[in-house]
Amino acid sequence: MAQHPLEKFRFCPLCGSSRFVENNVKSKRCQDCGFVYYFNPSASTVAVIVNKRDELLVVRRAKEPARGTLDLPGGFCDCHETSEEGVAREVKEETGLDVEQVEFLFTIPNIYPFGGLDIHTIDQFFLCRVTDTTGAVADDDAAEILWLPWAEVRPEEFGLKSISRGVERLLQRHAEHQASDR
């Protein structure tokens, strides 16, 4: 049986009581002050960037989880920023590239292990157009930047399950666009 997502949270964040108990599958309730805390997924972004040669920008992960595997640029949204702002910021931090335009594609739920906790996320995939793809430099969470032709993109080489699933969808979408262009 899966453990409650708030199992490690033992004290009420409002009054500090240790009588902070499971309320339902996604919340805990304080038996002293009545506060109910709902556990909801964190917003996370994923950038899909394609250059003029129709190659996908991928990065090699510099940190755990899945260090050394392939990934797409992206990360958690900060408080008080939109998902579009968050994906542009993450692209800038990891690649140095400036995002000009963002187009929403799809979402995939994920569980991201971080700091001993399983962080539930909703990974939002965006097609990002950048000003100039020639100046990409790996930084922050990215150890390396690669431009892969679609024929060389292998979902199993992406270490995070949601990214691998997203890459499968992107490959299918790319194949459908190629077929419709014929």
Task: Considering the candidates 22, 64, 103, 144, report the single residue annotated as catalytic.
Answer: 144
- Known active-site residue 144: yes
The pLDDT of residue 106 is above 70: yes
% of the chain exceeding 70 in pLDDT? 99
CA distance 64 to 55: 26
pTM above 0.85, yes or no: yes
**What is the second-level CATH architecture of the domain 42-180?**
Alpha-Beta Complex (3.90)
State residue 177 phi and psi, 5-degree precision: -65, -40
Q: What is the pLDDT of residue 2?
A: 66
DSSP 8-state code for residue 51? -
**How far apart are alpha carbons 40 and 24 in whole angstroms?**
13
Give me the chain's average pLDDT, please. 94
- The residues spanned by each domain of the chain are 1-39, 42-180
Residue identified by tokens 């009581």 is: 17
Cβ contact 37:27 at 8 Å? yes
The alpha carbon of residue 100 and the mean position of all alpha carbons in its chain are separated, in whole angstroms, by: 20
CA 147 to chain centre: 19
User: CB under 8 Å to 98, separation ≥6 — which residues?
Assistant: 88, 91, 92, 130, 131, 132
Average pLDDT over residues 118-136: 93
